[in-house]
Structure 1
Amino acid sequence: MGSDPGFDRIDKISGFTGFLSELMTIDQLTEQVIGMAMEIHRVMGPGFNESIYHRSLEVELAAAGIPFESEVPINVFYKGKLVGKFEADMVITIGKRLLIELKSCEVIVKAHEVQVVNYLTATGIDDGLILNFGAPSLQFKHKNRLYRSRASSSEPLDLH
């Protein structure tokens, strides 16, 4: 990539496991990642390509000793057959894993949320975080694989 030989090493994975990162709850980890993203947004501002923010978050995670993988392949199966492939931007790989999807657009929309929930379903990871660097202020949204919203009707569904 660039002229910094150490940068290529964090290009795909950071394997250092810091003691504190091992003890974090998923909420603490999510808050720490959001704090890193806010710092990146404060320094860089909006408007860069998503890959710039991606690399910046890799630098922050590596500096904090939080192990992660970048550009993680996700296979989707139907009845045991591979039917599709996706790529998650990042997955933090300690304890309870956290999938991170980065955006650089005007606003987080429902399609971004559905994308992350689909990634969570395909991977079995419970928690996902959407970070949008494209707006004047950092936007973020936490998603959980296990949460399913109720139907719009207030009546319970009768499935029989």
Structure 2
Amino acid sequence: MTENEISKEVVDLCFYLHQKYGPGLFESVYQQLLAYELRKKNYHVQEQAEIDIEHEGMVVPNAFKADLIINHKIIIELKSVKALEDVHYKQLYTYLKLTDLRLGLLINFNVKLIKDGIHRVVYRI
């Protein structure tokens, strides 16, 4: 599956979960629910994937944790905040760069309409 096909499925599941539970839960709850739903559809899902980075031969273990990595192709960064900030987009962009992945979804569940909380971040078009 392509990144776009996977992201469409993720977005559809976010709509489903937001409609069912609404805003206001912890990020970890949305993460578990989304991971569960994706696994039901036979996606490979890594939760809180610990990512090492290398700098001039030195490895920094567990430099960051990606909320979800789907099929080794897409990073999902989940939030449940009043408003997304520029740093959230930059954080996801850095995660994509360090993992050499192309597409990330920044999803804030703490919104009235989930369509307003879903944002694509692309690294290296």
- TM-score, normalised to structure 1, is 0.71
Aligned residue for 1:89? 67
Aligned pairs, number = 122
Code of the aligned partner of 1:117: Y
Deviation readout 1:41-97 (Å, 9 max, x if unpaired): 110100011111011101110111111111101112221223461000010125xx1
Alignment of 1:50-61 (within 5 A): 50-61=27-38
Secondary structure at the aligned position of 1:131 is classed as strand
Aligned residue for 1:9? none
Distance 1:134 1:80 in 2: 41
Aligned residue for 1:152? none
Larger radius of gyration: 1
Q: Which runs of 5+ in 2 are unaligned?
A: none
Code of the aligned partner of 2:110: G
Alignment of 1:1-160 (within 5 A): 24-83=1-60, 85-93=63-71, 97-138=73-114, 139-147=117-125
Secondary structure at the aligned position of 1:143 is classed as strand
Secondary structure at the aligned position of 1:136 is classed as coil
Distance 1:124 1:80 in 2: 18
Which structure has more relative contact order (CA 8 Å, sep 6+)? It is: 2
Code of the aligned partner of 2:99: T
Deviation at 1:121, TM superposition (A): 1.0
- Identity among equivalent pairs (%): 28
Q: Which runs of 5+ in 1 are unaligned?
A: 1-23, 148-160
Q: 4+ runs of 1 displaced by more than 4 Å?
A: none
- TM-score, normalised to structure 2, is 0.90
Going by fraction, where is helix more abundant, 1 or 2? Answer: 2
Distance 2:70 2:82 in 1: 26
Secondary structure at the aligned position of 2:104 is classed as strand
Distance 2:83 2:113 in 1: 10
Going by fraction, where is strand more abundant, 1 or 2? Answer: 2
Secondary structure at the aligned position of 2:81 is classed as coil
